[in-house]
Amino acid sequence: MNWLTPELIEIVIAVLKAVVILLAVVVCGALLSFVERRLLGWWQDRYGPNRVGPFGMFQIAADMLKMFFKEDWTPPFADKVIFTLAPVIGMGALLTAFVIIPITPTWGVADLNIGILFFFAMAGLSVYAVLFAGWSSNNKFALLGALRASAQTVSYEVFLALALMGIVAQVGSFNMRDIVDYQAENLWFIIPQFFGFCTFFIAGVAVTHRHPFDQPEAEQELADGYHIEYAGMKWGMFFVGEYIGIVTISALLVTLFFGGWHGPFGILPQIPFIWFALKTCFFIMLFILLRASIPRPRYDQVMAFSWKFCLPLTLINLLVTGAVVLAAAQ
Amino acid sequence: MEFAFYFAAGIAVASTLRVVTSSNPVHALLYLIISLLAVAMTFFALGAPFAGALEIIVYAGAIMVLFVFVVMLLNLGPASAKQEKQWLTPGIWIGPTIFSAALLGLLLHALFKAPSGAEIGLASVDAKAVGISLFGPYLLVVELASMLLLAALIAAYHLGRHEAKDATP
């Protein structure tokens, strides 16, 4: 029996690691719905869900039971194939983007040499979830939400990519592990690439359709926007997909700007996962704090802010970074 | 790698056929997106990950979004699907198909007569190599393309501004 070769064992271990990371991300996304409501309650000086179990911790179980047993209703006027496909894209796209994130020196799903580009590709494809959901629902509000979403996402993706090109120019690689190693040897990118961080964070919030960029949903105006016709598990996939987007963007921010699994000033290198998790939690909470504190701007203001402020800022940042890299090379 | 290449190429051909034969415009666009993703996959299999990623980002992620955007606004219903079906009669498609098949035969003949003998997916062309060739031997083409894009940008700006001026009372 020589089928148990070292290569096979390695493959099995890699697959197991990938499955563990997948489950951890999805469970984090599901738990966030409870965490968000508790934190919002805390910040807005009210209770939030606190009845089910200690501190309301079993609220998530109650919500999941409700969602599983709700009727999974497809409207008769909807385009059935695309109506079913949209939530799959919505949850899958940003979940797939998580594969490029190196969690610790030994943990991480895929070590791609086009690293960041893979994330851009998946972020680009995630637009289709909203577009298809809005169109196939055959509903005015859903279509309006989808149109807003696609215009917003296409605008913000332009500088989502440009904001990170400063990092790529400094490191000289798209690979995420190279970027983390470069930060450990030099400075964390939050200092030399501060404007890149600001614009990438704004674009990241816009790509996940989170407050204050939740134009596609805009409960007050559009009565829930693109997922107005969805119910049961399909709606749940949109819901969890949004939280998975938050987790992915937070992990990307940590990896790209805050040194990934390294602690500040290289202290305690024995606990890489703890550092990574702590920093990611911080950014997830920042996403929720944004929702608790900022009002929603008007749609044309969102578009004007993207093209007239953020895009020039990223271009200037990229030019200055390029000049610095050239000057340092000579 | 060879298997991945032929598999993705087969999907690209099949989905492109469905783009032509599908009578629902949005479904046709969905097949076109799949076709572009399959083409990106063939780039990955050929060892050009940078080109593959750009294919997804630019074509599937940006240009096709605009296509879907416009088609969604047109509010095409069952009437347009019926019209599409009427247009897809053999009298219309048989002539172009014969000519295209002749061209395909010529291409296949040329390819099989002098095979390049290159192996699939052994060398990987990374972003740096692409950049060096873009700003080395192909610099003139890059500059010309940038001028063309600038002209398009100015034209789009002009059109948008004109409409905005009309709309204000």
A91 is written with which tokens? 């949850």
C-alpha closest to that of B54 among B131, B144, B132, B140: B131
The CA distances from residue A203 to A173, A232, A238, in Å, are: 22, 30, 19
DSSP A45-106: TS--S-SSSGGGTTHHHHHHHHHHHS-----TTS-HHHHHHHHHHHHHHHHHHGGG---SSS
The whole-number average pLDDT for the span A21-47 is 86
Return mean pLDDT, chain A: 85
Counted across chains A and B, CB pairs separated by less than 8 A come out at 72
CB contacts, 8 Å: B24 with chain A: 79
CB A52 within 8 A of CB A62: yes
Q: What is the pLDDT of residues A226-272, one digit of tens each?
A: 777 777 788 888 888 889 999 999 999 999 988 888 888 777 778 88
Q: CA geometry: angle at A100 spanning B50 and B124, to 5°?
A: 30
pLDDT confidence band for B76 (50 / 70 / 90): low
Read off the pLDDT band of A215 (50, 70, 90): low
* Per-residue tokens: A240: 């969890």
Q: Using CB atoms, which residue from A124, A132, A135 is nearest to B62?
A: A124
| A154 with B62: Cβ contact below 8 A | yes
> Which of chain A's residues have a Cβ under 8 Å away from the Cβ of B31?
none
* Residue A107, token pair as written in the block: 């943990």
Question: Is the ipTM beyond the 0.90 threshold?
Answer: no
Quote the percentage of chain A above a pLDDT of 70. Answer: 96
Encoded tokens for A289: 């704090």
> So what's the pLDDT on residue B165?
56
Residue A136's pLDDT is what?
Answer: 82
Instruction: Give the CA count within 13 Å in the CB-facing half-sphere of B109.
Output: 6
pLDDT on residue A250? 92
**What pTM, to 2 d.p., does this model score?**
0.87
Task: Mutate one of B67, B68, B128 to test the A interface: name it (highest A CB count within 10 A).
Answer: B68
Chain A residues with at least one Cβ partner in B under 8 Å: 79, 81-82, 85, 112-114, 117-118, 120-121, 123-125, 127-128, 131-132, 134-135, 143, 146-147, 150-151, 153-154, 157, 161, 172, 174
Q: Residue A78: is its pLDDT beyond 90?
A: no
Residue A171, phi-psi category: left (phi > 0), alpha (psi -120 to 50), beta (remainder) = alpha
* Count of all residues that appear for chain B in the document: 169
Q: How far apart are CA A238 and CA A251, in angstroms?
A: 20
Residues A271, A274, A277, A281, CA torsion sign: negative
Taking the CA atoms of chain A, what radius of gyration do you get in angstroms? Answer: 21
